[in-house]
Amino acid sequence: MPGHSGTSPACSITFTGETGGSVVLAVKGSMSFHTLNSIHPQFLSLVEKTKPSHIIVDLADVDYLDSAGVLALQEMENYSRNHSIPFAFSNMSREAEGILSLVAASLATAPSSAAQRKEDGFMESVGEISLTVLRDFANLMTFLGELLVTLFHALRKPASIRWSDFLFSVKRAGLDGLPIVALLSFLLGLIIAFMSSLQLKQFGANLYVASLVGFGMVRELGPIMTAIIIAGRSGSAFAAEIGTMMVNEEVDALVTMGFNPTRFLALPKVLAAMAVVPLLTLYSDLFGILGGMLVGVLGFDLTVYTYVQQTIKSISIFDVVSSMVKAVVFAVLIAGIGCQRGFCVRGGAEAVGKYTTSAVVAGLFLIIVADSLFAIILYYIH
């Protein structure tokens, strides 16, 4: 078939008769990218008119054929196979056979790989998951090392911190989170007081509702509830913000201009979380105690003074300090994992959503693990 030059000639398919019960369709002209859109409609129109029981496509008058034309021929063959109509080519040149076999071989590799992936067994799946977890852990440790170096540098040179971003993150993670933290903590304290009183009143020990609520909120529930709320609000926001910058290549622009992305983007967010999460934890403790007080005063005839005194007796300085230490660790985990997941984003909007979800899930998991370790450590310390 001669080389193609100039304007592509039209391609036509005509019905030339029947041979032994087979419908013969003759293709004439150039089967190329430029005529691709007209080939298949002509073929379908002739098949509908002739209602063939067997199709033969005659390629004797084809003067040019490229890979796009081969795809058109494969579409004809696939259509016939899907409709259970025997199909064959006639008068195909060696060049056309070579192109057809080459394209068919390249298309056949993708399904075989997919089939191989589907046939992977349990051990292969476990291996893939293990490698993914190890790579994720390595990336997380690398980012943690960079973050610690950046924090050390910031302690030595506080002027290098972008304080405007720090204050913005404080407002978004702290001030804007006050209403939801107050509401959830108040309701949590109220529920704990009500449920515990159902058991304590059997022994005439309603007074100890105050001790239970105060100790539980300060020691455990205040820090972990605050951390969960901040992980859902701010951890996801950090990941989405940095992830969007990665998609828009803004982080690459910062690197090109000589800025360290960890110091420029992640450090203010981590410092802001470390500043606001302990304060929000105290705020959560206070509203949790107020929720328990509401139940104690209105439901069990306790006075406000009695409730407050009993709460103070049940809480020690060690409990408050350990709660603040927990809050700082939770803050580093939440902000750190949020920023790290943001820097992992590659692709488009789908990747941003994927890693934002991953930031929240990983943050919650690390919070629970850290809280479990704190429970064991504080048990032996105190």
Beta bridge partners of 65: 31
Which residue type sits at 123? M
**Bridge partners, 26 (sequence order):** 14, 58
The rounded distance, in Å, linking the Cα atoms of 163 and 169 is 10
104 vs 110: CA distance, rounded Å: 11
Q: Is-contact 251 343, C-beta < 8 A?
A: yes
Instruction: Report yes or no: 58 and 30 within 8 Å, Cβ to Cβ.
Output: no
Structural domains of the chain, ranges and CATH numbers in brackets = 11-118 (3.30.750.24), 136-381 (no CATH)
Provide the greatest CA pair distance for the chain.
106
With CA atoms as reference, report the closest residue to 57 among 106, 21, 96, 16.
16
Mean pLDDT in each 10-residue stretch from start to end of the chain (382 residues)? Answer: 48 76 79 76 81 81 78 81 80 75 63 49 81 85 87 85 89 89 93 86 79 90 93 91 90 87 90 93 93 87 87 90 94 92 86 90 92 90 78
pTM for the predicted model, two decimal places: 0.66
Output b/e per residue, 37-65; b: 16+ Cβ within 10 A.
Answer: eebeebbeebbeeeebebbbbbbeebebb
Give, to the nearest 10 degrees, the angle between helix 178-200 and helix 209-216: 140
Residue-level pLDDT at 33? 74
Local structure of residue 29 (DSSP, 8 states) = E
Residue count of the chain: 382
* Measured distance CA(145)–CA(335) in Å, rounded: 15
Q: Which residues contact 205 (CB under 8 A, 6 or more apart)?
A: none
